[in-house]
Amino acid sequence: MNPISSPQIASPPPLLNPAMGPAKTGETSFKDMLFDSIKEVNTMQLDADKAVEQMFTGGDVSPAEVLTAVQKADLAFRLTMQMRNKLMEVYQEVRDIRI
C-alpha cells in the first residue's frame, strides 16, 4: 500500500506569511500598505495630540487647525481599522475553505 502522501496543502497566501516579501516586484502588497498605514496613523495621532497640547497651553495655533488635525487622525485610524478588519475577514474565509 502506498503510503498516503500528505495532501498538498496550498501554501498560505503570501499576504499572511510575514516571511515572504512583496508578491510581485515593483508593486507593494496589501500587507505593506497596512503596516505603513499603521505607522502613519500613529504619527498623525501624536501630531494631533501635540497640536491640542499647544492650543491649551497658550500657543498660537488656531482652533480650526487643531480640530482638523484631530479629525484627520481620527479618519486615518478608522480607515486603517477597516483595512485590518478586511484582512481578518479574508483570513477567516481562507481558513474555512474545506479541502
Positions in the binding site for other proteins (CB under 8 A): 39, 42, 45-46, 48-49, 52-53, 55-58, 60, 62-64, 66-68, 70-71, 74, 77-79, 81-82, 85
Task: Provide the grid cell at 91.
Answer: 483570513
Backbone angles phi, psi at 92, to 5 degrees: -60, -45
Task: Provide the grid cell at 33.
Answer: 500598505
Least distance from C-beta 51 to other proteins, angstroms?
9
Using the minimum distance from each CB to other proteins, give the nearer residue, 25 or 57. 57
Using the minimum distance from each CB to other proteins, give the nearer residue, 32 or 74. 74
How crowded is the C-beta side of 49, counted as CA atoms within 13 Å?
6
